[in-house]
A and B are shown apart, each in its own frame.
Chain A
Amino acid sequence: GESVGLHLPTLSVQEGDNSIINCAYSNSASDYFIWYKQESGKGPQFIIDIRSNMDKRQGQRVTVLLNKTVKHLSLQIAATQPGDSAVYFCAETRNDMRFGAGTRLTVKP
């Protein structure tokens, strides 16, 4: 079946290091992808998006890479800070939005 999933359920990084969170998807018809951040006790919050006609998009300290050949999406966070500790979800949009299970990022001081 089709799915959106993450390679690793947890990721621990040192403050100041770069973080890379990965996501795999299986529907080649997906044309829009979003990364969300969910802090404890809060709803998901939009971070960055990318359309399928792009392979890279940059925001403030974040970069999303899309590899359509292997159906892989990644979120890179530069100079990771304690405030980046959260669960990160990728989501793909076809007719509706499907979410992956999430990766918990922990930033060690």
Chain B
Amino acid sequence: DADVTQTPRNRITKTGKRIMLECSQTKGHDRMYWYRQDPGLGLQLIYYSFDVKDINKGEISDGYSVSRQAQAKFSLSLESAIPNQTALYFCATSLNNEQFFGPGTRLTVL
């Protein structure tokens, strides 16, 4: 869905590096989310935000941080990447309960 975009789409990095994943939306939704997806597993919630400057931890927030400086943007950071953070990362927005997902960022940590 072009209304939710993620950059980069693919990234390979090394252990210990700082990485930022960006998410932008043109839907005008207040709520935004970051999930990770591992093979054979469902989506796990990392962080979510219900408004600008509002930040809430999800199921697996350790090792991650987020920033919501504007309604349209929600960024996810890995301060010091480790190999078990290799996964597919999805950003989503929501209106009421329906969520709209971005195309995903495939992150590989060597």
Contacts and interface: CB of A to CB of B under 8 A. Distances in A.
B21 to A, nearest CB: 14
A42 interface: yes
Interface of A: 4, 9, 32, 34, 41-46, 49, 89, 91, 93, 96-102
Contacts of B58: 96
State which size class the interface on B falls in.
20 to 34
Interface in B40-73: 40-45, 48, 58-59
Contacts, number: 52
A96 B45 contact: yes
Contacts of A96: 45, 48, 58
A93 B92 CA distance: 15
Nearest to A93: B97
Interface string B80-93: 00000000001010
Given A32-B97, A49-B97, A44 B90 contact: yes
Nearest to B104: A43
Given A4-B42, A96-B48, 13 more contacts: A34-B99, A41-B103, A42-B104, A43-B4, A43-B104, A46-B99, A91-B42, A98-B42, A98-B59, A99-B42, A99-B44, A101-B40, A101-B41
